[in-house]
Amino acid sequence: MLLVKEWKKIVFSLMFVLYVAVVAAMYYTQLGGDLLTPEPKPTPGMDNYGTVVKEDAAILMPAATEELLREYLNGYYVTYPFFYKEVKPKENEKARIAEILGELTGLSRKELDSFTDFQDSRYDIANDENGNPVYTYREAVYPEYEMQPVTYEHFRELMGEVDEILGGNSSYAPKTLVNRFSRVPKTYETALAEYQTMMQPANLGKAYTRLYCDYLGIVLAVIPVFAAAFLWMADRRAHMQALVYSRKISSVKLVCIRYFALVSAMMLPVVVTFVHMMIKVEGLYPEQSISWLPAVGLGLFWLLPYVLSVTAVAVFLSELIGPLFAIFVQCIWWFLSLEASELVGGITRWTLLLRHNRLGGEDIFAAQFANFLWNRAFYLLLSAACLLLAALVFDKKRGGAFGRRERWSVAYKNIFRNRKNKSAA
Amino acid sequence: MHIKIYLEIAKTNLRHNFLLPFAAAVGIVFLAGLLYGTTALDALETAKPLEFFLCFTGAALLTPLFLPEQEKDIRDVVLSKKVNYGIVCMIRLLYNIIAMGLLVAAFGLKLYLGECAVSWTHISGAVVTALFLGAVGLFAAGISGNVVIGFMAVILFYLANYGLKGKLGVFYLFSMSSGQLGPKWWLLFGAILLIAAGTYRQMRAG
Amino acid sequence: MQEKIVIENVSKFYGRKQALKNVNLTIEKGMFGLLGRNGAGKTTLMKTLAALHRKQSGSIQVCGIPIEHAKEIRAITGYLPQDFSMYPSMRVEEALDYLGVLSEMERGDRRQKIEILLEKVNLTEHRNKKVRGLSGGMKRRLGIAQALLHDPKVLIVDEPTAGLDPEERIRFRNLLCEVAEERIVLLSTHIVGDIEATCEDIAIMHEGEILWQGTVEQLLGNADGKVYTATVENQQLPELKKSYMITAMLKQGKTTHVRFIADGLPDVAGASPEKPGCEDAYVYCLYQKGCKVYGGEETV
């Protein structure tokens, strides 16, 4: 019954209305367009069917080599451990990369380092005739070279070595090499095959679900922290803490009930917009049968961990330090994962945000499905851990700990007093 | 006499209401240094850390401007005093904007020393961007009477800049990064308006 | 300068709800009590007098200054809100000093006044305590100190004794009486005892209106001969409650000793007239004006 009461308190708050508005706005602005027309069936003779990742040594090797040359001449390498990071190798590492480049291009280290004309493609600031600042673009200038004959296996080994030197997660890592450097134009046949895969009853709903989760995930990975911090602190604002603390209910039970009230309330607009989307999709493809179950399962497993983990972290940090601190941490975390995640095909085991910014792309998603499962399971576990910690902190506070700063200083002084006593003895 | 009073007000406020937001803003600047490259960036790349990330210093410093008086009972006491509460807000605003300018300039100096193509247009643009984002939060916090909602508005507006881009027109935050260089008069004007409206609302909220 | 507050035909709406209805009141130097239930409009009236709320119609003059001149008004009024609260991270002395700055007081003046007031409200030994560490009573005393800091001509205190223990309440009332010797003190409360102990002039508010204004003696005189006590069987109680206003009762086994108000001679066996207390007189006044009054266990 307490659950219903807490639930009412949440649902009728201004904060919740705002939350619903945000979810609805995200859904409407981002998916509205995709739901207007059905995905067109590819027809023969179109100019462009998009690109597809295909492991082709003849394309991959020159592209990766040029990128390595560019980064070498720039003097720094970009990696993505959790976010964008520039790596500047040490002298011996630099020498080894130069050796590898030599093996691939035939350019010696001396030739590389003495090429002073190097210019990355760049934008400069100049003034136009009115004196207003404008950007001007300059083309890149590379030394001339010819690709040396190396086998693809050996090439991959070399790239792996470069990646290790750079500390991993560079463009040359085995897992990203193909994705990054080996894109070929899609043929009509592949485009058609992809379309037909997408149109299968089990896949069509899932295709739209992925796009839905991609967009909604962006807000669900951050907005719950505001709602949770705000509503969790309602007691403190209303000077209700002492009253709540003194009740019979166990801390774990109270914290869990409030947590589930929050989470279930926050899932509400998600469920509503999701159902709305599925009904729209059914209307778009009247001749197709669409199975809902795989779509609903995928959507829940994708989105629920966002709400669960963000809320749990928010509740824990709000309880331990304060709501503004929780908001600060979550916003930074959200920003980092937003920057780190690739739009399509970048699902990793750890990043909070999972992106799949494309309708279809069943094969790309399938290739990363193991990572997807791992990632969501990890965030489910994290939620449980944070919830438990929150209950623990709540219980301690109830018992009078963490009350005032004075308590900390008293505890601190006592530690020193004990030490002094010991050293005296 | 008045100057002395204002200095006293600034002193107490600096001691009690400045350090945490400032620490957060410093943290943001340090993080920007970690997240983004700061060497040999061209003019377009230089705009990116300045617009995409340093704008959060504005949110950290300006959005919690009314936080000390968020509790209605405290606000009533302060409002009943002779010195106009709006003046207290303006004093806070002033030192926060100075702090924000210094932080952005410090980051600009790091870019400059890293031989990036940083210019005064970049720095002033970055300060105005941060000011506007902070003003959005300040306005929302003033209207709602709650700073959490202020921060939420900041994130939402930032997200809108990600998702809607051109639809925001002159209020698009990341114009320098998308190739439009030049003074951001509209953002500056908008920020002043939002700050004025938010402060007015805060002063009226009985 | 005339030392009085003159309120004429003041009305105020919150949306559609009328919080003040045509209020007319003149408040002279000394202690003035505003009595009424929670939600009667007392706080609204006080905030309006402290220039925190704007009235929609009518006129108010505080010591000859129209209420619209907010800055001048704030210079001569001290205000203690119902739930006084201060920046929790500040120390007592620091909080007072800051509020003194906001009243545009000179440093030397502030120092001197803070010293005197801390002594007066018994907070000298807690001057270095953080506000968040103060008890309810100490916080309230800090509240009165800040309201008096700039030596205001008018002191407005909203429900100052709510939540204080009996001892603190008495001390607080005495303090208010003391400061009322030199200024207008306007005190609102829903606790009749406070008014009885401190005020000479009072007004009773009900649903945004001034129901009655006069001296405590007049209020008591009004209820003279209307208050009775009797001892009745317990089963008679419901019947009694229907017919009369019960202001107090004490159960004694099967019988109950009741104190009640009756306009004429009561039809209760063994009823004897009593001298009215302030509480009785207040309830009688409400009853007389046709307000719904709750009897029995629920005291007003």
Alpha-carbon distance C212 to C33, whole Å? 12
Verify whether the Cβ–Cβ distance A133 to B119 is below 8 Å. yes
pLDDT tens digits, one per residue of A22-51: 999 999 998 888 888 888 888 888 878 888
pLDDT for A310 beyond 80: yes
Closest CA to A231 of B146, B201, C50: B146
Entry field: residues in chain B: 206
CA distances, A346 to each of A86, A162, A175, A212, C116 (Å): 19, 21, 10, 17, 69
Q: Parse chain B into domains and list their residue ranges.
A: 2-204
Structure confidence by residue, pLDDT tens digits, C148-205: 999 999 999 998 877 677 888 888 888 888 888 889 999 998 778 788 778 889 999 9
pLDDT of C297 above 50: no
Q: What gap in Å lies between CA A208 and CA A407, rounded to an integer?
A: 54
Determine which of B152, B168, B175, B176 to mutate to test the interface with A (most A C-beta atoms within 10 Å). B152
Give which of B67, B188, B179, B57 is closest to B130, Cα–Cα: B57
pLDDT in the model for residue B39: 79
For the residues B31-35, what does the mean pLDDT come to?
86
Q: Is C187 exposed, middle or buried (0-12, 13-18, 19+ CB in 10 A)?
A: buried
d(CA B79, CA B85): 6
Chain C residues in contact with B1 (beta carbon < 8 A): 104
C132 reaches A (C-beta below 8 A): yes
Run of H or E including A185: strand A183-185
Chain B residues closer than 8 Å to C71 by CB = 82, 84
Whether chain B has a CB inside 8 Å of the CB on A131: the answer is no
pLDDT of amino acid C294: 59
Which positions ≥6 away from C106 have C-beta within 8 Å?
none
Hey, which chains touch C, using 3+ CB pairs under 8 Å? A, B
Contact present, A206 and A296 (Cβ < 8 Å): no
- Comparing alpha-carbon positions, the chain B residue that sits nearest to A221 is B155
Question: Is pLDDT at C147 greater than 50 in this prediction?
Answer: yes
pLDDT at C117: 94
Residue B7 sits at the chain A interface (C-beta within 8 Å): no
The single-letter code of the amino acid at A100 is: I
| Pairing status of strand C184-189 against strand C154-158 | parallel
**pLDDT of A411 higher than 50:** no
For A378, list phi and psi in degrees, rounded to 5.
-60, -45
* Most distant pair of Cα atoms in chain C: their distance: 70
Q: How far apart are CA A308 and CA A324, in angstroms?
A: 19
DSSP type of residue A240? -
Q: Which alpha helices (DSSP H) does A81-172 contain, by range?
A: 91-105, 109-113, 152-165
User: In angstroms, rounded to a whole number, what is the distance separating the alpha carbons of residues A176 and B200?
Assistant: 53
Q: What is the pTM of this model?
A: 0.84
Nearest to B159 by CA among A225, A338, A329, A210: A338
Which H, E and C letters describe chain C, residue by residue? CCCEEEEEEEEEEECCEEEEEEEEEEEECEEEEEEECCCCCHHHHHHHHCCCCCCCEEEEEECCEECCCHHHHHHHEEEECCCCCCCCCCEHHHHHHHHHHHCCCCHHHHHHHHHHHHHHCCCHHHCCCEHHHCCHHHHHHHHHHHHHCCCCCEEEEECCCCCCCHHHHHHHHHHHHHHCCCCEEEEEECCHHHHHHHCCEEEEEECCEEEEEEEHHHHHHHCCCCEEEEEEEHHHHHHHHHHCEEEEEEEECCEEEEEEECCCCCCCCCCEECCCCHHHHHHHHHHHCCCCCCCCCCCC
**What pairing do the DSSP bridges indicate for beta strands C65-66 and C57-62?**
antiparallel
Q: Is A406 on the interface with C (CB under 8 A)?
A: yes
> Token digits for B114?
């890293």
Range scoring the smallest mean pLDDT among A24-38, A112-126, C61-75: A112-126
Closest CA–CA distance from residue A125 to any residue of chain B (Å): 6
User: CA-CA distance, B109 to B54, in Å (whole number)?
Assistant: 14
Which two tokens mark A196? Answer: 């037909």
pLDDT bucket at C69, cuts 50 / 70 / 90: very high
- Phi, psi dihedrals of residue A225, rounded to the nearest 5°: -65, -35
Q: Tell me which residue has tokens 């001509």.
A: C153
Q: What angle do CA B113, B114, B115 make, to 5 degrees?
A: 85
Query: What is the pLDDT, as a whole number, of residue A425?
Result: 39
Q: Which whole number is the average pLDDT over A221-231? A: 91
As a whole number of angstroms, the distance between CA C97 and CA C100 comes to 5
Q: B38 or C292, which is more confident?
A: B38
Rg (CA), chain C: 22
Model ipTM? 0.90
User: For the purposes of burial, counting CB atoms within 10 Å of the CB of C296, is it exposed (0-12), middle (13-18) or buried (19 or more)?
Assistant: middle
Nearest CA in chain B to A77: B37
Nearest alpha carbon to residue A210 among A287, A281, A272: A281
Nearest CA in chain C to B85: C102
Give residue A75's region: left, alpha or beta (phi > 0; psi -120 to 50).
Answer: left
- pLDDT(A338) > 70: yes
B: neighbours with 3+ CB pairs under 8 Å? A, C
Tens digits of residue pLDDT in B78-125: 999 999 999 999 999 999 999 999 999 999 999 999 888 899 999 999
Q: What is the CA radius of gyration of chain B?
A: 17
Neighbours of A, requiring at least 3 CB pairs below 8 Å, are B, C
Q: Is some CB atom of chain A closer than 8 A to the CB atom of C88?
A: no
List for chain B the helix, strand, coil content (%; round to 5). 80, 0, 20
* Residue in C44, C79, C101, C151 to test binding to B, most B beta-carbons within 10 Å: C101
Q: Check if C64 contacts A (Cβ < 8 Å).
A: no
Quick one: which of A341, A31, A346 has its CA closest to A207? A31
CA B183, B186, B189: angle at the middle one, nearest 5?
Answer: 110
Tokens of B174: 């990341």
Comparison of pLDDT for B169 and A210, the residue scoring more: A210
